[in-house]
């Protein structure tokens, strides 16, 4: 004999449990008992998708200021960027390491041979006592692809750089790269299409279920950044100047000014 459900329970259906992902990628568990249907949020296994911003500079003053307000998740450098920092390599990297804390630090390897790239990356890790937040930037040359595999086997994170085509990125991810960095402005400057290359790589990652992420790089305009984020780029590394520009709008400044004017003589609470 089936026990009667209390009037408030709704009652009726056979007992069952089903689990599914909702549109925000939260795991939802639905328990249906003969008397009640309960919907539970079990846990959030996947970080909600959002674009990671990184600073493409080694200037410690710029970084200090940016880190005081911008939600950055890391810093990227290359020898050109480091040469503008006004410091020797060790001082720059040490300063960056201090500022980013547990954030990511992506450093370009400059060796030509794969074994030397690997040695260089290992040296950075030991010299600066980096943990998992260190990423060895490796160019997509034959030696680079070889080095990527060795680095991944050694447990070192890899960011594939100097990418100009979707195929270079795809091969880099197959070689184990965690991030792939297409150079948007440099593509645009040779009458190619940086945003399209970014979009194609994003599409490949989704189509093939790859675990790599796009780190769009080499920007000269805020519009390029807007477009790569709309193309679904997982991350972007951006100069200090453009990071400042992309949050600016004259109408925001006018709006804030007007609030100040309208508040005059009105507020009788001391904040």
Give me the least distance between CB of 214 and ligand E4P, in Å please.
12
Q: How many residues bind ligand E4P (CB under 6 A)?
A: 12
Give me the least distance between CB of 41 and ligand E4P, in Å please.
38
Tokens representing residue 96 in the block: 């960056």
CB 93 within 8 A of CB 63: no
Which of 63, 66, 75, 78 is close enough to bind ligand E4P by CB under 6 A? 78
DSSP states of 72-135: --EEE--HHHHHTSSS-HHHHHHHHHHHHTTSEEEEE---SSHHHHHHHHHHHHHHTT--TTEE
Residues 6+ apart with CB under 8 A from 262: none
Give me the least distance between CB of 56 and ligand E4P, in Å please.
5
CB 242 within 8 A of CB 219: yes
Alpha helix (H) ranges present in 131-176?
A: 142-153, 166-174
Return d(Cα 250, Cα 254) in angstroms, integer: 6
Q: What dihedral angle (degrees, nearest 10) is formed by the CA atoms of 252, 256, 261, 264? A: 170
Please identify, among the stretches 127-135, 170-178, 180-188, 263-271, the one whose residues bind ligand E4P according to the rule CB under 6 A. 180-188
Number of CB atoms found within 10 A of residue 209's CB: 6
Cβ-based nearer residue to ligand E4P, 174 or 186? 186
Cβ-based nearer residue to ligand E4P, 33 or 185? 185
137 is a catalytic site residue: yes
Tokens representing residue 115 in the block: 């074994």
Give me the least distance between CB of 243 and ligand E4P, in Å please.
13
The binding track of 88-127 with respect to ligand E4P, each residue x by CB under 6 A or -, is ----------------------------------------
Residue of 44, 137, 152, 213 with catalytic role = 137
The binding track of 24-63 with respect to ligand E4P, each residue x by CB under 6 A or -, is --------------------------------x-------
Within 13 Å, how many C-alpha atoms sit on residue 84's CB side? 12
76 binds ligand E4P (CB under 6 A): yes
Cβ-based nearer residue to ligand E4P, 147 or 258? 147
157 binds ligand E4P (CB under 6 A): no
Residues in 208-237 at the binding interface with ligand E4P, rule: CB under 6 A: 217-218, 237
3 state SS of 23: coil
Give me the least distance between CB of 120 and ligand E4P, in Å please.
16
Return d(Cα 108, Cα 76) in angstroms, integer: 8
CB 181 within 8 A of CB 217: yes
Please identify, among the stretches 5-13, 44-52, 74-82, 113-121, the one whose residues bind ligand E4P according to the rule CB under 6 A. 74-82
Which of 36, 122, 186, 244 is close enough to bind ligand E4P by CB under 6 A? 186
By the criterion CB under 6 A, which residues form the site for ligand E4P?
A: 56, 76, 78, 80, 161, 181, 183, 185-186, 217-218, 237
């Amino acid at each position: 004999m089936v026990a009667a459900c209390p009037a408030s329970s709704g009652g009726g259906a056979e007992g069952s449990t089903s689990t599914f992902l909702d549109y925000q990628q939260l795991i939802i568990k639905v328990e249906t008992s003969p008397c009640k249907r309960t919907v539970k949020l079990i846990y959030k296994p996947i970080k909600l998708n959002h674009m990671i911003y990184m600073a493409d500079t080694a200037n410690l003053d710029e970084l200090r200021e940016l880190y005081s307000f911008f939600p950055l998740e890391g810093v990227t450098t290359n020898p050109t960027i480091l040469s503008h920092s006004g410091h020797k390599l060790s001082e720059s990297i040490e300063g960056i390491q201090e500022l980013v804390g547990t954030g990511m630090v992506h450093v370009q390897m400059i060796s030509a041979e794969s074994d030397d790239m690997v040695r260089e990356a290992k040296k950075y890790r030991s010299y600066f006592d980096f943990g998992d937040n260190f990423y060895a930037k490796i160019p997509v040359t034959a030696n680079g692809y070889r080095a990527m595999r060795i680095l991944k086997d050694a447990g070192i994170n890899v960011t594939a750089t100097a990418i100009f085509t979707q195929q270079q990125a795809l091969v880099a991810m197959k070689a184990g790269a965690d991030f792939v960095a297409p150079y948007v402005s440099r593509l645009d400057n040779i009458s190619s299409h940086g945003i399209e290359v970014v979009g194609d790589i994003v599409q490949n990652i989704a189509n093939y279920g790859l675990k790599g992420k796009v780190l769009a790089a080499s920007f000269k305009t805020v519009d390029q950044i807007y477009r790569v984020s709309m193309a679904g780029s997982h991350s972007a590394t951006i100069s200090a100047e453009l990071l400042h520009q992309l949050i600016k709008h004259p109408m925001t400044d006018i709006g804030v000014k007007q609030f100040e004017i309208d508040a005059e003589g009105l507020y009788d609470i001391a904040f």
